[in-house]
Amino acid sequence: MADDASTYTFKAETRQLLNILIHSLYKEREIFLRELISNASDALNRLRFEALTEQNILEPDAELCIRLSVDEKKKLVTIEDTGIGMTKDELVKNLGTIAQSGAKAFLEAAKDAPDQAINVIGQFGVGFYSIFMVAEWVRVTSRSFNPRAKAASWYATGDDSFQVEPAEKANRGTRIEIKLKKDAAEFADESRLRTIVKRHSDFIGFPIYIGDSSEQVNQQAALWRTPRKDVSEEQYNEFYRQLTLEFEEPQSHLHITTDAPVRVYAILYIPAKAERGMFSLRKEDGLKLYSRNILIDEYSKDLLPEHFRFIQGVVDSEDLPLNVSRETFQASNMIARLKKVLTGQVMGALRKMAKKDREAYARFWKEFGPFIKQGVATDPAEREHLYELLRFKTSLQPDDWSSLDEYIERMQAGRKEIYYIVGDDDRSVLLSPHLDQFKSKGIEVLLLTHPVDPFLLMGLQKYRDFDLKNAAQAELEPDAKEDKADQAEAVTEGALENLINRFKEQLGDKITAVRETRRLSSSVARLVDPEGSLAPEMQRVYKYLDRETAIPKKILELNPSHAIIRGLADLEAGSDLEKAIIDQIYESALLLDGIHPDPSSMTPRIQQLMEAALKK
């Protein structure tokens, strides 16, 4: 250093703070370049502001830009901007901030209240010092925009002191020279710098150049900050492809610009499929989070509720308080407001789609319905807002999706229950004997056949003034006509009692009881739960959680008017054929309820019954 250089000693705690910054807060060393580009962008923005009122500016016609260069042999990286620049005093003040009271405050907070330390960090910006993750030494040479100011240079190695001296620099702005450590030599490569710029600083509002090239590296124009009227559908789709590398166009997009209660610029996408493509760039859930066009989090999971995690896109907020590393943001009321704004916008867009484009919403529901159901099951604060987004197939409209409101509109007058049935798939559940009494009365039943549906019901027990009720547990009163017809066709009371005893003897402890029912019409039998037992949907929850694997013991109800029961009453008691028929009736009921442990085991018995039928 020159003889007239001034040496400044950092305070005792500064070394400790540098160690925290370098080794604890930054996950990836390439972050240093993002921080320096961010600082350069700030300097260019400040000059642009000064130029609005100050006419006497050094090099007023110089391009506002950032240039990176490398010397591979010397292992040097240089970043230079044409921004506002700094005087000697400003170098001491701005780059010496780390030695001020903020450092001590941080260390005291970290010692006395570790959970509050992150908030203290956010009060002062020391991202510049991430440079020492890769640097043996750093020299910052700067000249102020004030034509009368002289250039100065700041030099440090990350130890306990730094030096400042006069320098020669004809151009306005700041030049930072970094001598790389041996284990950081990878950064003395133009292609490596280009990759970092594209990843972290592609939407900086000023051109970034590398080497002597006049080709701009960064895209610069942030699409999310462009007015909606100026963005074409093709541009939205192209941006989605760049963001995700997905081949299919997204189902829809949402361009958000708000000033209150928080300033937000965002473009959000609903992908074509719930499952990511093989070559997708997005390997995790979460949105790309920017602050003033600077990427601070590649996968931010705190901006939307968990049930909207399928949404892709970018969010940019100038109001966001950042911590020192910009890799995580502070838990604050600001984040809560940002999440509330984005969630409200997504909810509004989905409501609009559901109301105005039934076909588009059906495509959305097919892919992402389980996420919405998960939200109802797991998010008590949001579940009631999600109810209107739910869609179901029903026993009367099995090929279409219906909302709960549409179900209620079709409901028979005077009814106060929304009925549902839980099963493995729509086709098999439509054959359930539990639906017999509903079919005969024309009562519509929701078909719940997705694995998440039993969990959904834990958060959906009532909608408006209507209680949800499982059809398998419902007992509808038969009409007088139906009851009279059933009795005319039923086996005699004595024959039925004898048959019930034969069922009990054959099935043994597989069931708790056998009894007749007038609730069946086209089905021969059904299984119902004894009073006080776990509800059918909760049995499925336990099954999915591997909490219960044994077949639950149920009551077998027989339809005394069914042709099979009438024929079975006349069959020789104790014969092999009778035993096979009884076993098959029971296991068919298990199958239709979706609780048969091994359906293929029925094959030999079915073959036996076919042979018996052919012999007869």
Q: Which of 559, 498, 501 is nearest to 527 (CA)?
A: 559
Over residues 74-78, mean pLDDT: 97
Indicate whether 508 belongs to any domain: yes
pLDDT at position 102: 46
Same domain as 569, residue 467: no
User: What pLDDT band is residue 488 in, cutting at 50, 70 and 90?
Assistant: low
| Structural domain contains residue 434 | yes
Does residue 309 have a pLDDT over 70? Answer: yes
Compute the distance between CA of residue 113 and CA of residue 289 in angstroms, rounded to an integer: 28
> Which carries the bigger pLDDT value, residue 345 or residue 219?
345
Query: What's residue 426's pLDDT?
Result: 86
Residues 325 and 462 grouped into a single domain: no
CB 167, CB 5: distance < 8 Å: no
97-132: pLDDT as tens digits: 554 444 555 555 555 544 443 333 333 345 687 888
> 168-182, 506-520, 533-547: which range is least confident on average?
533-547
| Tens-place pLDDT, residues 339-390 | 999 999 999 999 999 999 999 999 999 999 999 999 999 999 999 999 999 9
Q: For the segment 404-420, what is each residue's pLDDT rounded down to a tens digit?
A: 999 999 998 889 999 99
* pLDDT for res 188: 96
Say which CATH number the domain at 412 has: 3.40.50.11260
Q: What local confidence, expressed as pLDDT, does residue 532 receive?
A: 66
Of 140-144, 288-292, 382-386, the poorest mean pLDDT is in 288-292
Helices 31-50 and 190-200 pack at an angle, to 10 degrees, of 70
Q: Identify whether residues 175 and 39 lie together within a single domain.
A: yes
pLDDT, residue 52, reads 80
218 belongs to a structural domain:
no
End-to-end CA distance of the chain: 111
Residue 412 CA to residue 433 CA, distance in Å, equals 22
The most distant pair of C-alpha atoms in the chain lies apart, rounded to whole Å, by 119
- Asked whether the predicted pLDDT for residue 328 surpasses 80, the reply is no
Structure-token match 């600083």, residue found: 201
* Token pair for 279: 């070559």
With 70 as the cut, is the pLDDT of residue 322 above it?
no
Domain finish residue from 356, 386, 411? 356
Where is pLDDT greater, at 467 or 428? 467
- Indicate if 230 and 197 belong to the same structural domain: no
Same domain, yes or no: 459 and 519: no
Domain end residue (candidates: 473, 494, 520): 473
> Do 562 and 426 belong to one domain?
no
Name which of 147-151, 407-411, 507-511, 541-545 the model is least confident about. 541-545
Q: Is residue 123 part of a domain?
A: yes
Among 211, 257, 195, 273, which Cα is nearest to 76's? 211
Rounded average pLDDT over 426-441:
91
| Average pLDDT estimate for 62-73 | 96
366 in the same domain as 340: no
Contact predicate 496/516, CB 8 Å: yes
Q: Rounded to an integer, what distance in angstroms lies between the CA atom of residue 346 and that of residue 308?
A: 9
Q: Are residues 465 and 491 in the same domain?
A: no
Single out the residue in 160, 176, 210 at which a domain terminates. 210
Q: Percent of the chain scored above 90 by pLDDT?
A: 59
Per-residue confidence band for 25, with pLDDT thresholds at 50, 70 and 90: low
Same-domain check for residues 498 and 601:
yes
Query: Given this model, what pLDDT does residue 428 score?
Result: 86
Residue 122 is predicted with a pLDDT of 33
**Residue 67 burial (10 A CB sphere; 0-12, 13-18, 19+):** buried
* Averaged confidence pLDDT in the chain: 86
For 14-70, the DSSP string reads HHHHHHHHHHTS-S-TTHHHHHHHHHHHHHHHHHHHHTTT----SSTTS---EEEEE
Q: What is the pLDDT of residue 479?
A: 67
Of 6, 49, 35, 209, which Cα lies nearest the Cα of 145? 49
Alpha helices, H only, 96-133: 101-112, 117-121
**What's the number of domains the chain is made of?**
4
What is d(CA 11, CA 249) in angstroms, rounded to the nearest whole number? 56
- Confirm whether 216 is domain-assigned: no
Q: Select from 527, 399, 415, 406 the least CA-distant residue to 468.
A: 415
Residues 425 and 494 in one domain: no
Where helices occur in 401-492 by DSSP H, the ranges are 404-409, 426-429, 436-441, 453-456, 480-489
User: Quick one: DSSP state of residue 426?
Assistant: H
The structure's pTM equals 0.74
In the sheet that 152-156 helps form, which strands lie side by side, from edge to edge?
Answer: 6-9, 161-166, 152-156, 135-143, 173-180, 76-81, 66-71, 208-210
Q: Over 60: is that where the pLDDT of 26 sits?
A: no
In a domain, 217, yes or no: no
> Residues with Cβ < 8 Å from 349, sequence gap 6 or more?
252, 254
Instruction: Give the pLDDT of residue 281.
Output: 77
- Residue 336 lies inside a defined structural domain of this protein: yes
pLDDT at 221: 81
**CATH code of residue 327:** 3.30.230.80
Q: Are both 327 and 380 inside the same structural domain?
A: no
CATH of the domain at 595: 1.20.120.790
Q: Three-state SS for 217? A: coil
Q: Which domain holds residue 411?
A: 362-473
**Claim to verify: residue 347 and residue 233 sit in the same structural domain:** yes
Please report whether residue 1 resides in a domain.
no
CATH classification of the domain holding 158: 3.30.565.10
